[in-house]
Amino acid sequence: MTFTIQGVNRMDHTLTKLIENALAEDLGPGDVTSEATIPANSTSTAFMLAKEDLVLAGLDVSGAVFHYLDPDIQFLPLAKDGDRIHAGTEIAKLSGNTRVLLAGERVALNLLQHMSGIATLTAHYVALLNGLNTRVLDTRKTLPGLRHLEKYAVRVGGGQNHRFGLYDGVLIKDNHIAASGGITQAVEAARKKAHHLLKIEVETRTLDEVREALAAKAEIIMLDNMPIDMMGEAVKLINHEAFVEASGNVTLQTVRAIAETGVDFISSGSLTHSAPAADISMKIK
Amino acid sequence: MTFTIQGVNRMDHTLTKLIENALAEDLGPGDVTSEATIPANSTSTAFMLAKEDLVLAGLDVSGAVFHYLDPDIQFLPLAKDGDRIHAGTEIAKLSGNTRVLLAGERVALNLLQHMSGIATLTAHYVALLNGLNTRVLDTRKTLPGLRHLEKYAVRVGGGQNHRFGLYDGVLIKDNHIAASGGITQAVEAARKKAHHLLKIEVETRTLDEVREALAAKAEIIMLDNMPIDMMGEAVKLINHEAFVEASGNVTLQTVRAIAETGVDFISSGSLTHSAPAADISMKIK
Amino acid sequence: MTFTIQGVNRMDHTLTKLIENALAEDLGPGDVTSEATIPANSTSTAFMLAKEDLVLAGLDVSGAVFHYLDPDIQFLPLAKDGDRIHAGTEIAKLSGNTRVLLAGERVALNLLQHMSGIATLTAHYVALLNGLNTRVLDTRKTLPGLRHLEKYAVRVGGGQNHRFGLYDGVLIKDNHIAASGGITQAVEAARKKAHHLLKIEVETRTLDEVREALAAKAEIIMLDNMPIDMMGEAVKLINHEAFVEASGNVTLQTVRAIAETGVDFISSGSLTHSAPAADISMKIK
Amino acid sequence: MTFTIQGVNRMDHTLTKLIENALAEDLGPGDVTSEATIPANSTSTAFMLAKEDLVLAGLDVSGAVFHYLDPDIQFLPLAKDGDRIHAGTEIAKLSGNTRVLLAGERVALNLLQHMSGIATLTAHYVALLNGLNTRVLDTRKTLPGLRHLEKYAVRVGGGQNHRFGLYDGVLIKDNHIAASGGITQAVEAARKKAHHLLKIEVETRTLDEVREALAAKAEIIMLDNMPIDMMGEAVKLINHEAFVEASGNVTLQTVRAIAETGVDFISSGSLTHSAPAADISMKIK
Amino acid sequence: MTFTIQGVNRMDHTLTKLIENALAEDLGPGDVTSEATIPANSTSTAFMLAKEDLVLAGLDVSGAVFHYLDPDIQFLPLAKDGDRIHAGTEIAKLSGNTRVLLAGERVALNLLQHMSGIATLTAHYVALLNGLNTRVLDTRKTLPGLRHLEKYAVRVGGGQNHRFGLYDGVLIKDNHIAASGGITQAVEAARKKAHHLLKIEVETRTLDEVREALAAKAEIIMLDNMPIDMMGEAVKLINHEAFVEASGNVTLQTVRAIAETGVDFISSGSLTHSAPAADISMKIK
Amino acid sequence: MTFTIQGVNRMDHTLTKLIENALAEDLGPGDVTSEATIPANSTSTAFMLAKEDLVLAGLDVSGAVFHYLDPDIQFLPLAKDGDRIHAGTEIAKLSGNTRVLLAGERVALNLLQHMSGIATLTAHYVALLNGLNTRVLDTRKTLPGLRHLEKYAVRVGGGQNHRFGLYDGVLIKDNHIAASGGITQAVEAARKKAHHLLKIEVETRTLDEVREALAAKAEIIMLDNMPIDMMGEAVKLINHEAFVEASGNVTLQTVRAIAETGVDFISSGSLTHSAPAADISMKIK
């Protein structure tokens, strides 16, 4: 199996566990209907079909579900992750044991529909920023166990990833500031304790906080839930001495205006926690 | 910890694994920001707050996240699953080690927002059927690893569960029918092979198929993607000799009209795969 | 590896874990005797041999043990599950690395002897019902971790499976009845709460209970530990309006008489919890 | 929980995994019957009851099943492992949540009945050797995953354990002898390679082999499937220069005669692989 | 249990698995010696004793070993991690079940001796830099499964941690440079692909490479295996526009001279892969 | 993969888990540097190179790391475990995907350097006993999770293994003696409880204890921390009626003198807990 999310084949291992758990959840001790009605050696050909326009993400993952069940299943991709697919397009051809095709169908589609849903929504956001330098970022607002697949789908849709977790980036929020006695002290503490390859981002809500973060030499300044006017002022204040990330109240309606303030990044949890599933089905011929 | 989904405490164990994985995904080798800026023995009080109207689901689950991290965290529910919550309402009070509160915040909210999103959407569907006997059902279109929590949230929202997986109910679809040589043969085969405590449901697309399923004594007949008129005829044909389930093209716009045909059940994948997250935040005071 | 219990290859995974644990239990950090006395590259041919008459079950499972240890082992079945084997018959030929053959021998035989023991005992029960429509059922009285293999062996021996666990069938017993306030109420509660693809079975001990279960439209009525005469009356009372299952005091001596009352099913825990191991050995040539 | 098999509490961990798997197998996603018919907060008292004469083994283990499900269950032993119990005796009193009592009942009894069956059968063998010095040993013919519990039950019944696996004792069989070029060479090789705390046992089938094993200074000599007369001669030949273990054709009918030849140990797989379950039930009052 | 490495109690979980595996490795199916010679209810008091001068690290970890085996063991620390301990000092008092004390002794000491060995060696390096601003860093040259404990021991000894793995920092080495077509291109690629909270370090071997890394605005420049003179020149060239890390040929003999060139960090694998175990024993009184 | 430590391929499984954990520790969610700078389809050739004289151990293990990541990596050994390697010698050639080579490099080398370090140190000890019959033994002083690899490395270096854990040999120490009431009683108890394939070793500190252990017919007598003169006397006293093992104060300086007393075995924890890593690197060409 050649699927890799970020990097080498080892990622297959994490993916394999996820697939194993998902199949255990759906199959339990076995598919009683197929066992009873379909001969053990029956073979079929099936197609995955887009039922609405979408940006495809997760095709290899869905193939991996069938591969896990039975390496003899032929899974022939007719498109690839990142493709813009029109309703009615066949996106994969499968052939092999009929019981296996039916056993894997639901889990494979559940993953593919969720990931394509995220990629499709992300692409909508990205398209709205056409011509600007602002990048769309995801957040840590992901579904338990699915973060890496969801963040991969965001990249497929043209977005960028924020940090992967609490461990690979310093993001100082109000509670950290309060506990440290101020932005200056919090940045200083982070500079001293975190290892030397991690940058420091500070969340701000007022222009005074922006000034203090800037003075403390934060490498990234987040503007959290600021009115658009204030964002514009903050961008001017910061004047490219730090990266600027806008966060809060990001919708398809507001994203362009936010970007036009000149922020470098706009992050939104909705990319991952509220993207509706893309409509994809599987038909056995 | 007293959380149970369906039945006894053993479910805690499955839940514990899910929480463990979700925290591993988010925390990795540690929260570098809090480590650097918050004293190890700092304690705080926090509140979970609804930021929009919602039906609450998953409060015990979110409490279990903190309990897993540190049994000394006090998690005081200010509402309970199933409650209709208004924007601005505090739904839980937490107190304990500040680092722990921040370490659990995101995972707890990710679960709570997803589950409450499902319960809220389900409740909308249920409300639209007010005065009718038709029940709203979920499907197997769930997110990998989250099926039991999602199906619980559907129940909290007033819906009913369909079978949990391929193992606890016989649902004969077109592929099974084709492989068996017809509806009659497929039902017969299932009756013979599946154990005697499982009922048999048959998916139909035409009135002829409905007639054949009825003749074969299927206990439940699914009307799949039928026009509403045809559904009405099917209901008359079946005449309470089997349960009737409608499936396909179910939206908030169509659900009432479908129910008024007299079907017993309406099932929809959107309850679980496309419910937007409910907006809930956690604030440390 | 092509072994499947009920359904697709995914079951291999559960089986693989069982084999892995069994080998870990037996091999621990290594086979000190073979390490010391048998060259690492020694190869041999071996035969599995029935030492008494038996119904074979588990041959693929025992092959899977060797496959797990070393995919290069050749495991050639000379018979198949369900075959009636006479004492002295060779049932499989193995060839490959000698240390591997010895490392897998005990675990493979332990499984094969247990499963064949169950199939053989089941076949005895089934043979005693020759000419009748009554079917022999297993129960949940299985050995921890081995339920699926044991229930498979029952099928191989000609029996049928009862529900697999507490999750895929409703069986209302005295405690449920007492807690609900009566058979009628218990059946009603189950009808409302359990999903619509599960049938309801009620355990009864008197003819009055049978009448009440029938009135409540239970789909299956269990006659628990009833005298044979009473069973006969119950069967008449029920008159094919529900399935009838006899349970309790089932032995090779009583099973025919019980069946002749006209019950549909007879269930017995002894099939799985008290079947003596079939005598099978492995000889290296 | 205070159950230990051999040694410290760590064994609890292995036991916990076994219990966890057994409950997952039986409960799956939940007990649909109890969920529907028994209120979540219902409490009950129950008794475990011997329904035939038996030697009790596994009472703590069965208590651990309930403890795993719910630490609030009160499990009061009314007897202890090793006790000879008469039919009709109550052996434990349980009280707590009714759903939990029903959820754990089957798994707890499956373990208790199997272990007590082994202890009871072992005790029969031991009783037949009354007045002799010969000890009854188990073998590696155990059920996958249950070896430690089964070997514990053998000890409870008055038997002794043979080695636990291939890793903690050297037992040279015909294949090892053939591969090494003779008993002498095989013993020598084992003496050199196995670590210095392991003794060496040699399996023999003729008096010549016994003589060679003795000359090679094997610490234990196994007499495999020898006629009783030959065993007597072997015992004389060996003359206490090595321990003597008899194996093969050991039944309740033959065991006394075998022992009277003067062998030190008699080993039999039937103790673990063919002991019928002891009849024990649980009744809720 | 209150042990945390980096952050919240969740780390206990990772630690618990490590302890569980280590005990399984050492105890296997049980401690045959203690089982035979020490009564199950025997209790004792024991002391951990330093047998040479050392910097203590891992005391809580070693306590966690006993806690895992038996929560009733009293583990009273008589010193704390980071303390400089003289030979002959008692560092912990334990009391509880004797078998448990002996079962945990070896695993607890193996961890404590290894971690204290690392802390002690690190402290030697740190002491040699007295009065300078240069910090001692560890590397990824750690023992599989022990990285977090080893990196914790480095911090206890006064060192700092480098990145934890390949995932939380960008370190561009010769192979990355070759594949990208040069330092400039490699830094650019990393800036574009890695998320915005990660800094970029470049490994250099010549002053030309240092100049190119500086021009590419690498945030950290590693001087790999450079002669000391060249390091001095590199430090001047860089002139505080990037952090400077020296690596290669770092020994107790060379570390001071390297630091005096003015580098910010010196990293050495020997801290973790070659620190001899500190001599600590446990005595039962 | 053909690597076996002690016995059959099953050991691969344990090794696979260790490799999986080690890679998870190092790679986490991915290698951000290689992802950014090296094309996904780039391929390279690399060499592992000894940078000092060493005895090689773990080459197959290090190959298994790459095999785990990607079975398409070609790993060509240019030497084999047990070879004495001179500085500058290439010991393996690797070719395949560049990202995979870099992803596996550190874990493979960490294992190889540690194991070769142990083999090299063991070989030094063994060389010092040239011409004598005394054998060098390891102990249970190993690093958690690495015992089997470390004990394998000791064998590769020419040493022998002591028991693998507390489960496969009886070693009676002072605490066991105290609890039993004396050496005689402790040996008797062990003889009765431990199974009949385990020998009994007794730790002694005085000649009186040696005499008592000898009288109790201990099969091995350990001389613990005795002065060399006393060891000589003990060896004479024992006079080949038991094996003699010397322990304590074993260094490269003392080992020859200890051996010359005539002891059969000398055991030392330093072989495994204090062997410095052998210097080995990997270079991509």
pLDDT tens digits, E220-269 = 999 999 999 999 999 999 999 999 999 999 999 999 999 999 999 999 99
pLDDT at C6 over 60: no
Cα gap B144→A25, rounded to integer Å: 8
CB E229 within 8 A of CB E262: no
To the nearest whole Å, the CA of A134 is away from the closest chain B CA by 25
Say whether residue D220 is in contact with chain F using an 8 A CB cutoff.
Answer: yes
Average pLDDT over residues F98-119: 97
Distance CA(D197)–CA(D214), nearest Å, equals: 20
Give yes or no for residue A279 having a pLDDT over 80. Answer: yes
C28 lies within 8 A of chain E by CB: yes
E strands present in A176-278? 200-204, 220-224, 243-247, 265-267
C151 tagged catalytic: no
Residue E11 has pLDDT above 70, yes or no: no
Single-letter amino acid code for the residue at E204: T
Residues of C within 8 A of A69 (CB-CB) are: 8-10
C26 Cβ under 8 Å from any chain F Cβ? no
Report chain C's terminal Cα–Cα distance, integer Å: 25
Confidence bin at C43 (pLDDT 50/70/90): very high
Report the alpha-carbon distance of residue A131 to residue A133 in Å, rounded.
Answer: 7
Written in H, E and C, the secondary structure of E118-160 is HHHHHHHHHHHCCCCCCEEECCCCCCCCCHHHHHHHHHHCCCE
Mean pLDDT of F232-259: 97
Residue partners of C173: CB distance under 8 A and separation at least 6? C203, D33
Strand boundaries in chain A, DSSP class E = 43-50, 54-55, 74-77, 84-85, 90-97, 135-137, 170-172, 200-204, 220-224, 243-247, 265-267, 280-284
> Could you report the per-residue pLDDT of E118-174, keeping only the tens digit for each?
999 999 999 999 999 999 999 999 999 999 999 999 999 999 999 999 999 999 999
Mean pLDDT (chain C, rounded): 93
**Inter-residue contact E174 to F105 (CB < 8 Å):** no
Neighbours of chain D (3+ CB pairs under 8 A): A, B, C, E, F
Backbone φ and ψ for B2, nearest 5 degrees, come out as -110, 10
Between F127 and F178, name the one with better pLDDT.
Answer: F127
B97 lies within 8 A of chain A by CB = no
Is there a contact between A73 and A95 (Cβ–Cβ < 8 Å)? yes
C209 is catalytic: no
Which listed residue (D60, D83, D150, D203) is catalytic? D203
Quick one: pLDDT band at residue B15, thresholds 50, 70, 90? confident
Percent of chain E with pLDDT over 70: 96
Which helix (H) or strand (E) segment is D265 a member of? strand D265-267
Distances, alpha carbon A71 to alpha carbons A18, A75, C9, C10, E133, in Å: 17, 10, 9, 11, 58
CB atoms F168 and D198 under 8 Å: yes
Per-residue DSSP letter, F261 = T
pTM of the model: 0.94
pLDDT (mean) for C114-124: 98
Model confidence at B5: pLDDT above 60:
no
F231/F261 Cα distance (integer angstroms): 6
The pLDDT, as a whole number, for residue A179 is 87
Strand partners, F202: F172, F221
Q: Point out the least confidently predicted range of C237-251, D3-17, E263-277, F23-37.
A: D3-17
Cβ neighbors of B224 (< 8 A, separation 6 or more) are: B203, B204, B205, B247, B248
DSSP E93: E
- State the Cα–Cα distance between residues B48 and A43, nearest whole angstrom: 53
Q: What 3-state class would DSSP assign to E238?
A: helix
- What percentage of residues in chain B have a pLDDT greater than 70? 96
Show which of residues 126-165 on chain B sit within 8 Å of chain D, judged by CB atoms.
148, 164-165
As a dihedral over the C-alpha atoms of residue B19, residue B24, residue B29, residue B30, rounded to 10 degrees, the angle is -40
Q: In this model, does residue F1 exceed pLDDT 50?
A: no
The answer to whether the CB atoms of C168 and B197 lie below 8 A apart is: yes
CA distance linking residue E101 with residue E43, whole number of Å: 9
Alpha-carbon distance of E190 to E261, in angstroms, equals: 29
Q: DSSP secondary-structure letter at E182?
A: S
Angle, alpha carbons C79-C85-C87 (nearest 5°):
125
Instruction: Say if the Cβ atoms of E145 and F171 lie within 8 Å.
Output: no
Count Cα neighbours of B23 within 13 Å in the Cβ-side half-sphere: 30
| Distance between start and end Cα atoms, chain E | 25
3-state SS class at B137: strand
Q: Which of C166, C176, C281 best tests the D interface by mutation, with the highest count of D CBs <10 A?
A: C166
State yes or no: pLDDT of F151 exceeds 90.
Answer: yes
CA nearest to D242, candidates D278, D206, D205, D215: D215
- pLDDT band at residue B7 under the 50/70/90 scheme: very low
Closest CA to C114 of C156, C73, C162: C156
For F166-203, give one letter per residue: b (16+ CB within 10 A) or e.
bbbbbbbbbbbbbbbeebbebbbbbbebbbbbbbbbbb
| pLDDT given for residue C9 in this prediction | 44
pLDDT band at C10 (very low <50, low <70, confident <90, very high): very low
Structure tokens at C195: 């999903």
Quote the tokens at residue C116. Answer: 């064949």
pLDDT score at B12: 62
- Nearest Cα of chain C lies from the Cα of D160 at a distance, in angstroms, of 18
Q: For chains A and F, count residue pairs whose Cβ atoms are closer than 8 Å.
A: 37
Pull the structure tokens for residue B25. 């995904």
Note the pLDDT tens digit of each residue in C132-154.
999 999 999 999 999 999 999 99
* Catalytic annotation present for B224: yes
Instruction: Return the pLDDT at B6.
Output: 38
pLDDT of E274:
97
D37/C189 CB distance under 8 A: yes
What is the pLDDT averaged over residues B46-60?
Answer: 97
In this prediction, residue F6 carries a pLDDT of: 38
Least confident range from A173-177, D11-15, E39-43, F186-190: namely D11-15
Q: In what order do the strands lie in the sheet with E220-224?
A: E135-137, E265-267, E243-247, E220-224, E200-204, E170-172
D283 in catalytic set = no
Q: Does E28 touch chain C (CB under 8 A)?
A: yes
Shortest Cα distance, chain B CAs vs residue C168, angstroms: 5
pLDDT at D172: 98
How many CB atoms lie under 10 A from the CB of residue F254? 16
Angle (CA) F170 F176 F177, round 5° = 110
Active site residue ranges of A:
106, 141, 173, 203, 224
Q: What is the mean pLDDT of chain B?
A: 93
Measure B50 CA to nearest chain E CA, in Å. 26
Angle between helices B10-27 and D10-27 (to 10 degrees): 110
Residue of A nearest to B165 (CA): A26
Asked whether the beta carbons of B150 and B117 are under 8 A apart, the reply is no
Provide the shortest C-alpha distance from residue A18 to chain D (in Å): 18
CB contact under 8 A, F31 and A7: yes
Question: In whole angstroms, what is the distance from residue E173 CA to residue D34 CA?
Answer: 62
In this predicted structure, what is the pLDDT of residue E6? Answer: 38
ipTM: 0.95
